Amino acid sequence: MASDIASTSNDESDLALKWSGRFSLAYRILAVNILTIVLVALSTLYLDVLRNRLSKERVRQTRIEATATAQAILAAGPEDREPILATISKSTGTRLRLYGADGKLIADSWRQTGPTYELQDPSTQKWTKGVARALDRGFNALVGSPQVGDFAEPTVDRLQAWPEAVKAKALNKAATAVRNAPDLTPVLSAAVPAGTGVLLATDNDRAFTRTVRSQRAVIVSVMTALILLSILLSLFLARTIVRPLRRLAIAAHRVRLGRSREVNVPRLPSRSDEIGLLARAVSDMSQSLRQRIDNIEAFAADVTHELKNPLASLRSAVDGIDRVDDPELKHKLMQIARDDVLRLDRLINDISEAARTDAELARAQFERVDLGPLIEQIVHAWETRRETGDARIAFARPRMNTAVVMGKPDRLARAINAMLDNAVSFSPPGGLVEIAAARVGDEVRIRVDDEGPGVPPEARQAIFNRFHSVRPEQDGFGRHSGLGLAIAEAIVKGHDGEIDVQDRDDAPSGARFTIRLPAADRE
């Protein structure tokens, strides 16, 4: 495992699929399971149906043979009965017995022919026969075959010893029975009325057993092929499921250990099933996690750097106060200390807000937000606080319920506030800041225009970086942390939107910031 984890290769050739990759994983697993079950069921049913058909046919033949024999001996005289029974018995191998009206045995074909079949003693047979009998019992239990009695010659051979003979005499029609010999071969019997008596035909049909067992051998061959097929299908599933999952698990383990900055997670672009979706999701997740870790590390480094400057200035001012006697110089040092404290306070507040923005938006429940009233409240708050200085703010309010998005009102207000703060800080004395919101197609656009110097093309991306701040000289010291636009961009992206800055096309100078957000569905 350790060597696998340490590997940085991203070879996906052994994980790619061809035609099977187009089918859902659930369908593949279901097909394999159903195929195995269907083949087993069909094989078992086929053998059971074949055996039942053969059994019924042999019982029917025995009954027909007994009926024909009974008619023959009724047509002949009493002295011809035994010769007729012997002749038929020799040709068919069946034992024929005739019982009189009182149930006594009056004729037996074996008296003249000798035994035409012999019941085998299982203890004298080869072990292979024992295996065959065990398979017979297992198959009977599997298909739920009805239990049949064991065949044994009666001690006193009378009609009453044979239930089928008793039934034939009572109902005056043929009756049949099937019993098992000691070696589980069937003994077929048929009793038919013969005048005032009953003719009984019995036969140990070993050919029937051989036929069934030969067919079962074919079924076993099919089952062996089925097992091999199942093994191949299992290997197929292992290749399509287990191997890529193992590779994904190894990659996830390497991400968790964090021993390598770049972890190659197989994306499996050729697979459109659940495994492919999982691979791409894990790959995207690892890339997102890596990017977030990089951002956190960069943010921590930037925070350290930004806090050092005001702290160094504050320490220098505090240390100098004790050594300076000039009241005017002391006053300047105290003012520097106050400014540094304000700057630190602003930095800490903005850093805290920037740190929690992403996490807060990730678990936020969005609601419908009409940007018209929201921006109007923000503009009114700016005018009430009189923080605009000499700049003026003009808002072109859209019609009610036209500029509607899905989002968090307080976060959107924070982003728009940052845009206004930036525009006001760069506006010249008496400048005009214009803000407008409107729906354009499937998006809502918020536009903030100022009359400042604008943003050079090479700096238009950098101004959204954390702690990037190039403020006018007259702007209050410590009033801006360089996080406002970075926070605004994070909020906009958290709402699946975009933010950019361009030069104004309707004025000699100035910057135009545009926020694009997905429009909410119309109610």
pTM: 0.47
Measured CA to CA, the distance from residue 190 to residue 60 in angstroms comes to 9
Residue with tokens 């100022």: 450
Measured CA to CA, the distance from residue 388 to residue 480 in angstroms comes to 15
| pLDDT score for 7 | 41
**Nearest to residue 15, comparing CAs of 269, 268, 273, 275?**
268
Measured CA to CA, the distance from residue 321 to residue 335 in angstroms comes to 11
List all residues 6 or more positions away from 234 whose beta carbon is below 8 Å from its beta carbon: 32
List all residues 6 or more positions away from 435 whose beta carbon is below 8 Å from its beta carbon: 375, 379, 393, 394, 395, 396, 416, 419, 420, 446, 447, 448, 449
Q: Do domains 26-216 and 364-523 have the same CATH topology?
A: no
| pLDDT score for 2 | 41
| pLDDT score for 171 | 94
Q: Report domain 364-523's class.
A: alpha beta
| pLDDT score for 369 | 92
- Taking only the tens of pLDDT, the chain with its 523 residues reads 444 434 444 455 555 555 555 656 566 666 766 777 777 777 777 777 777 788 888 889 999 999 999 999 888 888 888 899 999 999 999 999 999 999 999 999 999 999 999 988 888 888 888 888 887 787 777 777 778 889 999 999 999 999 999 999 999 999 999 999 998 899 999 999 998 899 999 999 888 888 877 877 777 787 778 778 877 777 777 777 777 888 888 888 777 776 666 667 788 887 887 788 888 888 888 887 777 777 777 667 766 766 776 787 778 878 778 777 788 887 888 888 887 787 777 767 766 766 666 666 666 788 999 999 999 998 888 877 655 556 788 898 888 888 899 988 888 988 898 888 888 888 888 888 999 999 998 999 999 999 888 888 887 787 777 666 655 444 444 455 567 788 888 888 888 899 999 988 887 788 899 999 999 887 6
Longest dimension (CA), the chain: 160
CATH architecture label of 26-216: 2-Layer Sandwich (3.30)
| pLDDT score for 470 | 57
| pLDDT score for 285 | 81
Measured CA to CA, the distance from residue 40 to residue 27 in angstroms comes to 20
Which bin fits 454, alpha (ψ -120 to 50), beta or left (φ > 0)? left
| pLDDT score for 305 | 62
Measured CA to CA, the distance from residue 332 to residue 397 in angstroms comes to 46
| pLDDT score for 362 | 63
List all residues 6 or more positions away from 441 whose beta carbon is below 8 Å from its beta carbon: 519
**Nearest to residue 99, comparing CAs of 172, 200, 203, 177?**
200
Residue spans of the domains in the chain: they are 26-216, 364-523
